[in-house]
Chains A and B, each alone.
Chain A
Amino acid sequence: MSLPQDAAALARYLREATGARQASIRELRRLPEGAVQENWRVEVEFAGGDLDGSRSLVLRKDAATSLGLGLDRAGEFQVARTAHAAGVSTPEPLLLCTERTVIGSPFFVMRRISGEAAPQRIVSGALGGERTDLAAALAREMAAIHAVAPPCATLACLGAPPADAAGARLAQCAGLLADDPEPHPVAEWGLRWLDRHRPPPAAPVLCHGDFRTGNFLADDRGLTAILDWEFAGWSDPDEDIGWFCLGCWRFGAYEREAGGIVPRPVFIDAYERASWRRIDPARLRWWETMAALRWLALALRQRDRALIGGELSLDLALTGRRVAECEFEILKLTGAL
């Protein structure tokens, strides 16, 4: 988004889409969250219409280059609406614009919720309040997401639920790795181990797909919102738990296995209470290994957005050097270390 031309076009769009007499943008600035998509804070003064008054909004749009994976903005908007309606604490999605003519790419607009996503501040305890309370709140949110099951009329964008979510994810990651020209023996070992230890299929539910520290907002009292639905899909609920617990998402607090926040049993206990579902450690280990392999494959993609796609981002380029973290986790989880 370039300013100020896009701001004027956006103000026009907001006025028309909400039926306001006038919409004046008071502030428009990019938020630090989001390596895959761009998030912009938009402070708007509406005169009349659906959002009459001063509104604090967030606009989410495609970044300059994409991973070529996950939902488009229309799909993400639908999932966020469904989750919000199901009682998940997530910013209320308000408007979807699939036209490229307004700001150059599709986007959606949601209400802004206060809080910060900064992972280091979360794991250090500076944000999020009491750790066990934060973990319990996250467990309740995750269970609320997993309570959404197919068929679901508002989630046609997710396609048909897979008969075998584990097999489907494994095949997707094998495909991503096959696209990379370099050899990855640890990833091959992971693929092979996962294939030989595949768990029996579970009934698919709505999964967030990127539920981790860094993808939720918290203030000094506790959790305020779950963010970023672009990797949502029908899957095995253990996939979200495995991803959340992966070593790569503990941000320096490696010993607190649940997101760098609390020891794993504390989170599992809270999730079991909230979901009325027992977690099988063997299945969770499988999904955590899958998470390591999936993050490895996605990290290679993200790196290539900078090295091949030409996106000017050191953050993305550095993602290539996080592959070794995933490899370490694969070896540890499969008993090879």
Chain B
Amino acid sequence: MRDRPDGASLRALAEQAAERGEAPELVARARAIAAREAAAGAAPVEAIRRELAGRWGEGSIEELLRRLAEAIRAGAFDAPGPEQRALHRALGAITEQKLAESNPDYLAAARRR
């Protein structure tokens, strides 16, 4: 569910970049994302997985997201109604969780609008 590079990779990339003398603000941003992801741990992803599984069948988070993507592409959520609303809730929860880890300032500013 989380976008690549994941927190651990980002931390490693940040250390290499710091050694190369890349911009300190980029290094700090990468470290901050890694720290937020580590602090959040696996719980938010598992919570979203359970939510998706409860409605669209069991599977790993990757399997569920893949099935969801295929169903969207096939037009299964085109019609307004409870299914579409459930999809929107799920996509919103996934996106806000990712944004809270990747760029919480963006999320806070966008929510104010």
Interface positions of A (Cβ within 8 A of B): 182-186, 188-189, 191-192, 196, 247, 252, 254-255, 303, 306-307, 312-315, 317-318, 320-325, 327-328, 331-332, 336-337
Q: Which residues of B contact A184 (CB under 8 A)?
A: 69
Q: Is the CB of A314 within 8 A of B14?
A: yes
Contacts of B96 in A (CB 8 A): 328
Asked if B91 and A186 make an inter-chain contact with CB atoms under 8 angstroms apart, the answer reads: yes
* Cross-chain pairs A/B with CB under 8 angstroms, 8 sampled: A182-B62, A185-B68, A189-B91, A314-B17, A315-B26, A318-B30, A331-B88, A332-B110
| Inter-chain contact B98/A327, CB cutoff 8 Å | yes
B72 touches A (CB below 8 Å): yes
**Does residue B45 face the partner (Cβ distance < 8 Å to A)?**
no
Residues from 4 to 19 in B contacting A, C-beta threshold 8 Å? 4-5, 9-10, 13-14, 16-17
User: Given A185-B68, A328-B107, are A314 and B88 neighbors across the interface (CB < 8 Å)?
Assistant: no
B-side interface residues, number (CB < 8 Å): 45
Main secondary structure of the interface of A (DSSP, over half): helix
Whole-angstrom CA separation of A254 from B108 in the bound complex: 10
* Pair A255/B113 contact, Cβ less than 8 Å: yes
Residues of chain A within 8 A of B16, CB atoms compared: 312, 314
Q: Does B99 contact A (CB under 8 A)?
A: yes
Contact of B77 with A312 in the complex, beta carbons under 8 Å: no
Are the CB atoms of B29 and A318 closer together than 8 Å?
A: yes
B106 touches A185 (CB 8 A): no
**Which residues of A are found within 8 Å of B110, using beta-carbon distances?**
247, 254, 328, 332
**CA A182 – CA B94 in complex, angstroms?**
15
Q: Which residue of B lies closest to A335 (CB)?
A: B88
A249 CB to closest chain B CB, in angstroms?
12
The residues in B between 95 and 113 inclusive whose CB is less than 8 angstroms from any CB of A are 95-96, 98-99, 102-103, 105-107, 109-110, 112-113
Query: Of B3, B26, B65, B88, which is within 8 A of A336 by CB?
Result: B88
| Given A303-B4, A314-B27, A317-B5: A325 touches B106 (CB 8 Å cut-off) | yes
**Once the chains are docked, how many angstroms separate the CA of A318 from the CA of B26?**
8
Max chain B CB contacts within 10 Å: which of A184, A192, A317, A322? A317
